Structure 1
Amino acid sequence: MKIRQAALSALAVTAASVTPSAFAQSSITLYGIIDAAVQYANTGGHTVVRQDSSSVAPSRWGLTGTEDLGGGYKAIFKLEDGFNVNTGAIAGNGALFNREAWVGIRGPFGQIQMGNNYTPLFITYVNYSLGELNTLAWGNAANNYVFIPSARTANSVRFTSAVVSGFTLRALYARGTNGASGVPASLGDTASAGLNFKAGSFSADADYLQQRFAPTATLTPTTSVQTGRYYLFAASYDFGFVKPSALYQMHRNAGGLTTSISSAFASPDHDFYEVNALFQNVFGSFGSVLVSFGQYILKSNGDGDSTSYAIRYDYHLSKRTGVYAGVAEVRNHSKASFSVSNAGGPGISVAAGKNITSGIVGLVHMF
């Protein structure tokens, strides 16, 4: 018995001494953002006053983690859930981690990740739609015109290269509906690539994305599927006191399609652009003013065109808390119904041909 106890004690000591080197260091971080605001809007004679969630920053919480695998490699993951701060309800389609859910490897080559990912297009939208508290948000023209199925893709693999001479390559492939029954086999299949270049205060991006879509919301396994193609170009330069940026997107190969149908991954041929200027250190070193202008141009019919104007002031009360206020307007032609969209989803609904003028005041807290 004494020999057995001595052996077990020796084994325990050995295990304790081996554990720190046998299992690499890992970490998990819990984070989140809570955004609440009051918005006033006039939509062609109809007035709406409401409390909003996720206007400037999508209200969300998430987990990120890393494990050091040695040799410059790490296992990584991210799980992120959006929610409505006014009701506590899960945002989006009701999935728990509806914003991002992926696992991957980071190393000297760059990073590869699999799951529910943002596309290279979305990364460019975010990087060039400026703002102090958040980007691609309330007031950004691009945020009013982005087609969501081209921005986030489930069942996808995304690769981001290491930086080489200022260049970073991003690529993504997604299996759309991933073999779901009752729909065309290739519906939603997405392939995308983007190239970013940075040198000092200058940054530029060029992105391409193709996505399989159906021309109708009534889907069967034999529904005809086509390929829409997106081209996106953007640039910015930080002068210190002001940072201007611009982006321009074209969508082609959807001739005959007149409306967007999210369930069919369908968006008509169009162009849209956004021009921004972020004035920094306004009314103190913790404030900034965003001015944004942009237009949506429907290629098949000018009655589907729209123009967006906005100005927004962001101010940091502390490192984690900020306030904002802004005024925006979207002017729609007779067949357009774009609104001033929130960062976390659509804005106040607008009837075709009606304009919307909106003002907002809100609070953001990060943890």
Structure 2
Amino acid sequence: MKKSLIALAVAGACSAAMAQSSVQLYGVADLWFGQITVKENGVKVYPASQTGLFDGGFSNSRFGFKGSEDLGGGLKANFQLEQGFNLDDGKQAQAGKMFSRQAWVGLSGGFGEVQLGKAYSAFDDVSGLAASVFDSDLAPINNIFASTFFSDSFNNTVKYITPAIGGFSGAVSYSFGEDKTATTKASKLWSLSGKYEEGPLAVGLGYAKNDTAGGDTTATRLAGSYDLGAVKLLASYGQLKDKAPGTTSKTNEWELGVNVPLASNLALSAGYGRTTLKEDGIKVGKANSFGAALAYSLSKRTTVYAGVNATKAEDVPVTDKVKTNIYAVGLKHTF
């Protein structure tokens, strides 16, 4: 009887431990077939111009592990490890990195959440808030916005995310550089963001600064959307300033778009964007991009899609023109 009671107690303790912690395997497999055509001043550019299979039309393919442990009193320990890969050839998205997208550990509770490691910047929390064309590779915002540099995960990052209160939430992140020498200071990157999401309205503002020995780069992103039911209106505005010794450049960028639900499992999204680059106040370049896509949900986890993107960039006044056209049909599966 005593042995039975001990076995029962051990089993109960193990069950309690398992209930307090969890680990999840997840991922995205996204592949599309289509054509990319790049022309510079009317002449096709190779190998940029190709017809075939390509990874990540709607979402970059990835797999990851994430988990949490209940520490009691509302406090949790969390982690996330995420690796990107190319579904067309099976290669790592970034060679030499085991977890190229995310690798962090942290704590969460009533105070919010803290992440330590390779984590996405606070700027990224609002960068795609109102992106058209499902924030995919076909979206203008992902083809011509210079400020997307800050919409990424960075090494050696400390990030804090506030709890959501009445639709408001915010985040701040700081990334330590490891490039300090005897004569130069280490680089650093920090960003902050705030957003409001309640009912049909969503609006967010992000700011980021990359401080390096070669100069400072700052970015601002304002994004918002309003859901009218029959259509969802999208708008984003960004600005990038680059200060290097002897020169200053500024890029203004904007995108307008719409999401239209055509049926319970069918949606259309389209958008147009434009950027203008100035150096020391003189216009030296411009670009515009149009994208549109249809997404049909076969299930909660599987979507087929088709879309196009047309982007044109040119130098001023040299008038060196580059045109890129993309035609895609793809399949996305999440697990």
TM-score by length of 1: 0.80
Q: 2:257–2:269: 8 Å Cα contact kept in structure 1?
A: yes
Q: 2:312 aligns with which of 324, 331, 334?
A: 331
Aligned to 1:276: 257
In structure 2, distance between residues paired with 1:97 and 1:289 = 33
In structure 1, distance between residues paired with 2:84 and 2:235 = 28
Alignment of 1:63-212 (within 5 A): 63-131=65-133, 135-144=134-143, 145-147=145-147, 149-152=149-152, 153-176=154-177, 178-179=178-179, 184-187=184-187, 189-212=188-211
SS at match of 1:240: coil
Q: Cα gap change, 1:354/1:238 in structure 2, threshold over 3 Å: closer, same or farther?
A: same
1:306 offset after TM fit, Å? 0.4
Q: 2:147–2:239: 8 Å Cα contact kept in structure 1?
A: no
Aligned to 2:232: 243
Q: How many matched pairs? A: 322
Q: Cα gap change, 1:354/1:200 in structure 2, threshold over 3 Å: closer, same or farther?
A: same
Letter in 1 for 2:207: Y
1:333 offset after TM fit, Å? 1.1
Q: Confirm whether residue 36 of structure 1 aligns to residue 37 of structure 2.
A: no
SS at match of 2:125: helix
1:229 offset after TM fit, Å? 1.7
Deviations 1:134-156 (A, max 9, x none): x4312211111245542221100
Alignment of 1:315-354 (within 5 A): 315-334=296-315, 353-354=321-322
In structure 1, distance between residues paired with 2:226 and 2:246 = 37
Q: Cα gap change, 1:277/1:182 in structure 2, threshold over 3 Å: closer, same or farther?
A: farther
Q: 1:212–1:228: 8 Å Cα contact kept in structure 2?
A: yes
Q: Confirm whether residue 359 of structure 1 aligns to residue 334 of structure 2.
A: no
SS at match of 2:31: strand
Aligned to 1:230: 219
SS at match of 1:124: helix
In structure 2, distance between residues paired with 1:257 and 1:183 = 20
Q: 2:274 aligns with which of 287, 295, 304?
A: 295
SS at match of 1:143: helix
Q: Cα gap change, 1:310/1:73 in structure 2, threshold over 3 Å: closer, same or farther?
A: same
1:99 offset after TM fit, Å? 0.6
Return structure 1 stretches of 4+ with deviation > 3 angstroms.
8-24, 146-149, 179-185, 255-258
Deviates more, 1:327-336 or 1:297-306: 327-336
Q: Cα gap change, 1:84/1:21 in structure 2, threshold over 3 Å: closer, same or farther?
A: closer
Q: 1:232–1:248: 8 Å Cα contact kept in structure 2?
A: yes
Deviates more, 1:288-297 or 1:142-151: 142-151
Structure 1's unaligned 5+ residue stretches are: 1-5, 214-223, 259-266, 337-351
Deviations 1:88-123 (A, max 9, x none): 110024311101111111101111111111112222
Aligned to 1:314: 295
1:24 offset after TM fit, Å? 6.0
Q: 1:270–1:299: 8 Å Cα contact kept in structure 2?
A: yes
In structure 1, distance between residues paired with 2:207 and 2:30 = 32
Structure 2's unaligned 5+ residue stretches are: none
Q: Cα gap change, 1:40/1:182 in structure 2, threshold over 3 Å: closer, same or farther?
A: farther
Q: 1:243–1:279: 8 Å Cα contact kept in structure 2?
A: yes
Aligned-residue Cα RMSD (Å) equals 2.7
Q: Cα gap change, 1:99/1:255 in structure 2, threshold over 3 Å: closer, same or farther?
A: same
Give 1 or 2: higher strand fraction.
2
Q: 2:217–2:241: 8 Å Cα contact kept in structure 1?
A: yes
1:81 offset after TM fit, Å? 0.6
SS at match of 1:319: coil
Q: 2:27–2:334: 8 Å Cα contact kept in structure 1?
A: yes
Letter in 2 for 1:233: L
Letter in 2 for 1:241: A
